[in-house]
Structure 1
């Protein structure tokens, strides 16, 4: 029978999968699911508030970085989930406390008893045939007195609440760092697209100049073909940077919950000077102490240790509890021909001593010890990852500081060369074609400088994030 049922299920599954591939879900199923979702999302004020905060997508009041960061703090779903995590941890803490409070329950039982004594050597039971209802009402109270497992459960719940608060801080810093990075990427792409467009316009002038020179027999066809090829590559790069810009803006909208209709500013946020970063030891110390990922991993180790002790107490520690009950039993009849109403009061102590495999599931402390070591490994891996990231960010900052210095020098040299060439043209010693070439070189130098400055700002933001710094405060 089981084999036949399995075969039937397999056939139904194959048919159903084929149907889903062809037509998708049935219209009635989709409509029913939508109706149920609408009912859930409007079931109370708190659900409607979530919809208003995290479901709406209004326009951004301003495309400034501080405005977008503030909007992300208010309406980013990851931060909202972390906030709900704190509420859940608080509820679990209260439940852990309830676990050590009196346990009171009431039960009402209604039975119909059909009884017949089939065989007995007791003369009193010879008339043992009866059919009657029995009503039983019970109130029962149990109070744990000594239960180390429950006590550790309260301590674990307190630590879990602290962990939820750390996870909230981590979510805020994660989202802020992502908003900052995408904002810089968007401005970087917009700047580069602008520089490339300016260079494209200069190339168009150069192409026109080469064509005129060819017309009078001075230019080379090969120069024109090379210039057109380079122009096509520039046009492709402009399209790529505009796509990169739109992707960054789209990500910013998703992170902040705001539609960014206007263009972002064309200048990078002025939050730091472009210089080398030398205090590596201080950054490493801050990262170990302030990075929320390390703090969360450390709390996981502490909680794993407490859970290990809790499992030991569950497996081996005696449990002492007090109990009391009141039972009222109303029998309409009996085997002896008469009914009864009785009240039974019971008060006592219960000492439970686990001897061997008391739960029937072995010993959870065996696996908890492994979990504790795994948590320790996760903590060490997180700390190593953060320290490696801090060292890498420091190295990039120093390298980019050198690149920015060299790029600034290149811009000054290109500006000086352009001024001299323009003076030569004004004196009749040069030609406009040479001026265009100098302008292209200046454009390339400025584009490289702006690119390095944006990369420096991204590395600086990463270092702020890894060392536990608040980008919100810096931006504000």
Structure 2
């Protein structure tokens, strides 16, 4: 084939491959992976099953005040051998007879203070489980967003290092050519070789980080993403609404799902103290028992059928149980104080994180605007230094430094844009209002 025909054939084959490429090979966006994580994220699935299990605690608590019934059945074969007896009623010899006994017992608690307190405690545990599920759902959305944007940042890092590596290679070729032509210095070639080697080492490290970022997405989605939709070069940067730090601080201290969960945990622990203390209280039950015993024989030689019905009030007053009740109460008091301290820690943490995220959004906007200017300035600096190097007015190291500074500014700009998105999502998660709509907003800023 002639060269031009071969080129056309290869171009047509390439176009055909693109057209028939399966949709699964296209880049996936944030919502694609969110849908997968809803079904496959182990942490969210575990939280869902935990919530389902916690829904049973109220039913179990009420069971402590509901009647219980039990049925016992015994079938006994008795063999007796009278070796000797001074009682003339009993004859010497042996006898064998069966005995069948069944008993139906129904018990109704009348006063069990510990069981009564357990009902209120179970309701508090259910409220805690509801808050934990909401927290797990929002945490999954935030965790997925952080992982997705971290993977994008890792890809950006690889791209910038690849570009810097190409620029260093070009500078090395240029320095080597000038040295061979006896118009350049050996030190320029050595500087280019050293910079190229350093960038290659950074690239190897960044490659591992990028692979690990994809594995983190696999952990949540349960499948390997075929590629990630990149963030657009221009996104709409907006300050938090309302732009009032106190508003977000108060909202975080009130509606943070982690705080709501811990407040319910404190309530559960407080009720546990009362429940353990109720171990000193008496209990009162109503008991009905019906027993029928059928005996096929006795020592007297005759069998019998006896039915017995009993209705009783059973009163129990605990006096001493080896100190276990008092010990369990002390344990419950200590755990209650521990839960209170954890609540205090979360309150302070929410205060810090709400301020951090609020100012993180504001400062990210400022950083993006400033770094856009820095990138433009570094690009102009690089072009001037390249021109000066070609004219023999600059050394190779100055050009290499300019290239490094340019890609460093681009890297910082990229990270600032990701920080803007992440801090906005974190701020909403802290106040408990993070929803799929927020993910949709981020997703709309990704390349189609």
- TM-score of the alignment, normalized to the shorter chain, above 0.5: yes
Structure 1 SS opposite 2:302: coil
Deviations 1:23-49 (A, max 9, x none): xxxxxxxxxxxxxxxxxxxxxxxxxxx
Match for 1:179 among 130, 144, 154? 144
Deviations 1:180-211 (A, max 9, x none): 11111111111122122122222222222222
Conserved 8 A contact 1:191-1:266: no
Displacement after TM superposition at 1:342 (Å): 0.9
1:248 matches 2:213: yes
Equivalent positions of 1:59-208 (< 5 A) are 63-114=28-79, 131-208=96-173
| Mean CA deviation greater in 368-377 or 271-280 | 271-280
Conserved 8 A contact 2:147-2:216: yes
Deviations 1:107-158 (A, max 9, x none): 111123345789999x686669854221111111011122221122222222
In the alignment, the residues of structure 2 paired with residue 113 and residue 440 of structure 1 have an alpha-carbon distance, to the nearest angstrom, of 98
Displacement after TM superposition at 1:259 (Å): 2.1
Displacement after TM superposition at 1:338 (Å): 1.6
Structure 2 SS opposite 1:294: helix
Structure 1 SS opposite 2:52: helix
Distance 1:412 1:274, change over 3 A: farther
Distance 1:276 1:316, change over 3 A: closer
Distance 1:469 1:405, change over 3 A: same
Equivalent positions of 1:292-303 (< 5 A) are 292-303=257-268
In the alignment, the residues of structure 2 paired with residue 119 and residue 352 of structure 1 have an alpha-carbon distance, to the nearest angstrom, of 45
1:283 matches 2:248: yes
In the alignment, the residues of structure 1 paired with residue 127 and residue 49 of structure 2 have an alpha-carbon distance, to the nearest angstrom, of 13
Structure 2 SS opposite 1:347: strand
Equivalent positions of 1:180-329 (< 5 A) are 180-261=145-226, 263-267=227-231, 273=237, 279-313=244-278, 315-329=279-293
Distance 1:125 1:173, change over 3 A: farther
Conserved 8 A contact 1:190-1:266: no
Equivalent positions of 1:348-427 (< 5 A) are 348-357=312-321, 361-363=324-326, 364-416=328-380
Distance 1:338 1:305, change over 3 A: same
Conserved 8 A contact 1:117-1:125: no
In the alignment, the residues of structure 2 paired with residue 298 and residue 148 of structure 1 have an alpha-carbon distance, to the nearest angstrom, of 24
Unaligned runs of 5+ in 1: 1-58
Deviations 1:265-319 (A, max 9, x none): 2326988626589633222222222222222111111011111111122x12222
Conserved 8 A contact 1:146-1:319: yes
Conserved 8 A contact 2:240-2:424: no
Normalising to structure 2: TM-score of the pair?
0.80
Conserved 8 A contact 1:322-1:348: yes
Distance 1:255 1:124, change over 3 A: farther
Structure 2 SS opposite 1:469: coil
Distance 1:210 1:280, change over 3 A: same
Displacement after TM superposition at 1:396 (Å): 4.4
The alignment covers a number of residue pairs equal to 413
| Mean CA deviation greater in 436-445 or 451-460 | 436-445
Structure 2 SS opposite 1:458: helix
Distance 1:61 1:441, change over 3 A: closer
The corresponding residue for 1:345 is: 309
Displacement after TM superposition at 1:254 (Å): 1.3
TM-align CA RMSD: 3.6
Unaligned runs of 5+ in 2: 1-23, 441-448
Distance 1:424 1:362, change over 3 A: closer
Normalising to structure 1: TM-score of the pair?
0.76
Structure 2 SS opposite 1:337: coil
In the alignment, the residues of structure 2 paired with residue 381 and residue 197 of structure 1 have an alpha-carbon distance, to the nearest angstrom, of 45
Conserved 8 A contact 1:61-1:67: no
Deviations 1:204-261 (A, max 9, x none): 2222222232233332111210111111111222222222111111110110122212
Match for 1:472 among 423, 427, 436? 436
Conserved 8 A contact 2:289-2:310: yes
